[in-house]
């Protein structure tokens, strides 16, 4: 869809005795269901659903719309959120189908360059372990501090820092596996012997807050210590990521990454799927 107009709605339950906070554990699921439902006529994409800090017993829904909405009908365009809340607890419905009422609605931006929500490393780890259907033991925060991962890993990379880092990570997350025993098979197939994984790289601002930036897919084998790379920008590629980092005063956080282990380490398709899911869940860049 074309992200042309962004709105932020503050809404509260139509029934005054309903506490919206009890539905907070389901906000992420509601957002995902809404975004996965495709429509042709003026599609929308929810960026975030959260409790309001300024209004009592209210939620904030921030979303993109392809077209401008009629004034007063913004919440109606998100009726699937109300329907989702009603499915969780039918007692919140008043009248025929009234669930939420608008407190306020503002047009945040009509530019696709508007800053979207960035998720902190703590938020991402927590959500992956508790809200995304991922086994918590497959979510690993891995140290990169003390290793130089700033060199281009293309081709054969025998740099000792990268190899030592890969050896330690493999031993850590694959239960004392020695990387020298992971042998890639040729010709390349979907299950080619290498250990596949997906990952998230982070950025850090001048206040020390760490945000997720990039999701990727990589692998380990005896001749390959992965292509995880804290690269410099050349002004030609990855312009959106570079712009995001400039706007938010971020630089690469080179001390840790998050690795999401495969259920089947030999399945590269699973790792690519996880990379795509994390990109969609947390608004990450390639």
Task: Give the pLDDT band of residue 236 (cuts 50, 70, 90).
Answer: confident
Q: What's the pLDDT at 114?
A: 40
Q: What is the pLDDT of residue 170?
A: 95
Q: How confident is the model at residue 176 (pLDDT cuts 50, 70, 90)?
A: confident
Return the SS3 of 261: strand
172 versus 280: which is more confidently predicted? 172
Weakest mean pLDDT among 31-40, 49-58, 71-80:
71-80
Per-residue pLDDT for 73 more than 90?
no
Is the full-model pTM beyond 0.85? no
pLDDT level of residue 174 (50, 70, 90 thresholds): very high
The Cα–Cα gap between 174 and 257 comes to 16
Picking from 115, 112, 114, 117, the residue whose alpha carbon sits closest to that of residue 211 is 117
**Token output for 172:** 């850590």
What band does 54 get if pLDDT is binned at 50, 70 and 90? confident
Region at 258 (left for phi over 0; alpha for psi -120 to 50; beta for the rest): beta
Residue 162 phi, psi dihedral angles, 5° rounding: -65, -40
Q: Give pLDDT, residue 116.
A: 60
5-109: what CATH class?
Answer: alpha beta
Summarize the confidence of residues 251-264 as an average pLDDT.
96
47 has a pLDDT exceeding 90: no
Residue 246: phi and psi, rounded to 5, are -70, -45
The predicted pLDDT at position 113 comes to 42
What pLDDT shows up at residue 111?
42
pLDDT at 50 over 70: yes
Q: Is the pLDDT of residue 286 over 50?
A: yes
Residue 283 has pLDDT above 90, yes or no: no
The pair of structure tokens assigned to 215 is 């999701």
* Per-residue pLDDT, 108: 67
Q: 153 pLDDT band (50/70/90 cuts)?
A: confident
Q: pLDDT tens-digit profile of 103-140?
A: 888 876 544 444 467 899 999 999 898 877 789 999 99
- Which range scores top for mean pLDDT: 91-100, 101-110, 217-226? 217-226
Domain spans, the chain: 5-109, 121-282
Mean pLDDT of all residues in the chain?
A: 87
Q: Which residues contact 203 (CB under 8 A, 6 or more apart)?
A: 210, 211, 213, 245, 248, 250, 251, 252, 253
Residue 155 pLDDT > 60: no
Using the structure block, give the residue that is written with the tokens 């004392």: 176
Separation between Cα atoms, residue 238 and residue 85, nearest integer Å:
38
First to last CA, the chain: 18
Q: Pick the more confident residue, 61 or 280.
A: 61
**pLDDT for position 254:** 96
Residue 208: predicted pLDDT: 94
pLDDT of 79 > 70? The answer is: yes
Q: Where are the beta strands (DSSP E) in the chain?
A: 5-13, 44-51, 59-65, 100-109, 139-143, 195-204, 210-220, 251-261
**Helix 268-282 with 121-130: angle, nearest 10 deg:** 120
Backbone angles phi, psi at 272, to 5 degrees: -65, -40
What's the sign of the alpha-carbon dihedral 122, 124, 125, 131? Answer: positive
């Amino acid at each position: 869809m074309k992200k042309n107009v962004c709105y932020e709605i503050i809404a509260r339950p139509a029934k005054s005795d309903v506490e919206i906070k009890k539905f907070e554990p389901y906000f992420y699921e509601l957002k995902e269901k809404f975004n996965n439902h495709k429509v042709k006529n003026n599609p929308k994409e929810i960026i975030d659903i959260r409790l309001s800090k300024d209004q009592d017993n209210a939620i904030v829904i921030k979303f993109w719309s392809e077209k401008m909405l009629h004034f007063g009908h913004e919440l109606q365009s998100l009726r699937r959120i109300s329907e989702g809340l009603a499915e969780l607890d039918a007692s919140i419905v008043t009248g025929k189908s009234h669930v939420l009422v608008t407190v306020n609605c503002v047009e945040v931006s009509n530019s696709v360059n508007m800053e979207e929500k960035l998720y902190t490393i703590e938020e991402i780890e927590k959500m992956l372990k508790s809200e995304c259907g991922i086994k918590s033991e497959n979510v690993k925060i891995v140290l990169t501090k003390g290793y130089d991962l700033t060199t281009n890993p293309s081709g054969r990379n025998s740099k000792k820092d990268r190899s030592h880092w890969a050896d330690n990570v493999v031993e850590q997350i694959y239960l004392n596996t020695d990387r020298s025993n992971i042998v890639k098979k040729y010709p390349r197939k979907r299950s080619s012997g290498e250990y596949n994984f997906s990952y998230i790289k982070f950025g850090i601002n001048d206040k020390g807050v760490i945000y997720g930036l990039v999701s990727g897919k990589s692998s380990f084998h005896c001749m390959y210590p992965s292509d995880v790379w804290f690269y410099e920008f050349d002004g030609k590629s990855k312009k959106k990521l570079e712009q995001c980092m400039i706007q938010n005063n971020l630089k690469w956080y080179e001390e840790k990454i998050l690795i999401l282990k495969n259920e089947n380490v030999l399945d590269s398709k699973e790792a690519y799927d996880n990379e795509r899911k994390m990109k969609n869940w947390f608004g990450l860049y390639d």
